[in-house]
Structures are given as structure tokens and as C-alpha cells.
């Protein structure tokens, strides 16, 4: 499959799964954000990357695995694909990792440009 088509399918799956997750009634699936999707070349398998906010990741994964049949059936109705992929959910901790790096960078004591210019003038 050409790369541009695979990217379009990945984007479509990501958008539709994020919309479908709003309809899931399982209390273990709380506030989560779909951060990416990766569909295999033959469209049989898809990895859905998500980020969970203020929730136990293990419980969220159990809830998503339990709801994967519903999500897959809704995905089949919404997308016009020859085969609906089997869904695998993967926790993506890049958001929390990025926040950690940002907090580390903000805690550094780096003098501003104005202070350096004042030192140079003296």
C-alpha cells in the first residue's frame, strides 16, 4: 500500500476511534486522548496509542480491551474499508514525559539576555 494512503487510513482511524471512545459507557475508560494510530499494511491490525489522564493505566487498558468489540464494530460502520482491523491499545506516555522535561527545563537557573547585556556593559 502506498505510504500516503496508509497515512490517510491512520489519521482516519485515529479520528474515528477518538469519537467512538466518547460513546463508551465503561467507567474504566475515563478521560483518555488518542495520540496516534498505526495500521498494518494489510489493514488487519491496528495499534491505537492513547494517553490517560488521572486514571490507572492498567484499569483503563482492561476497559479498552473489554470495549474493543464495540469500538471495532462502530469503526466498521463509520469507515469504508475492505477489512476492519483488530485493535490493540498501547499506552503512550510521551505527554507525561514531555511535561516532565518541560518542568526540568523551567527549573534551570539560566540568566536572561538582559542580564548578560548588563554584565557586558560594565
The whole-model pTM stands at 0.77
The residue written with cell numbers 534551570 in the block is 108
26 falls within a domain: yes
Question: For the chain, what is the domain count?
Answer: 1
CATH code of the domain containing 44: 3.30.300.20
d(CA 73, CA 86) in angstroms, rounded, equals 10
103 falls within a domain: no
Summarised one tens digit per residue, pLDDT across range 29-75 is 888 899 999 999 888 999 999 988 777 889 999 999 999 999 999 99
122 falls within a domain: no
Summarised one tens digit per residue, pLDDT across range 88-118 is 999 988 877 888 898 888 888 777 776 555 5
pLDDT at 94: 80
d(CA 14, CA 38) in angstroms, rounded, equals 9
pLDDT at 114: 67
Summarised one tens digit per residue, pLDDT across range 11-34 is 999 999 999 999 999 888 888 899
d(CA 101, CA 14) in angstroms, rounded, equals 26
Q: Which domain holds residue 22?
A: 3-93
Amino acid at each position: 500500500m502506498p505510504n500516503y494512503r496508509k497515512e490517510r487510513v491512520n489519521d482516519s482511524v485515529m479520528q474515528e476511534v477518538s469519537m467512538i471512545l466518547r460513546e463508551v459507557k465503561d467507567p474504566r475508560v475515563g478521560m483518555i486522548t488518542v495520540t496516534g494510530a498505526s495500521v498494518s499494511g494489510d489493514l488487519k491490525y491496528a495499534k491505537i496509542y492513547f494517553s490517560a489522564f488521572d486514571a490507572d493505566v492498567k484499569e483503563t487498558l482492561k476497559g479498552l480491551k473489554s470495549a474493543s468489540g464495540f469500538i471495532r464494530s462502530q469503526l466498521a460502520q463509520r469507515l469504508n474499508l475492505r477489512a476492519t482491523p483488530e485493535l490493540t491499545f498501547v499506552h503512550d506516555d510521551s505527554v507525561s514525559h514531555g511535561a516532565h522535561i518541560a518542568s526540568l527545563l523551567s527549573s534551570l537557573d539560566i540568566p536572561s539576555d538582559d542580564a548578560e547585556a548588563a554584565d557586558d556593559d560594565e
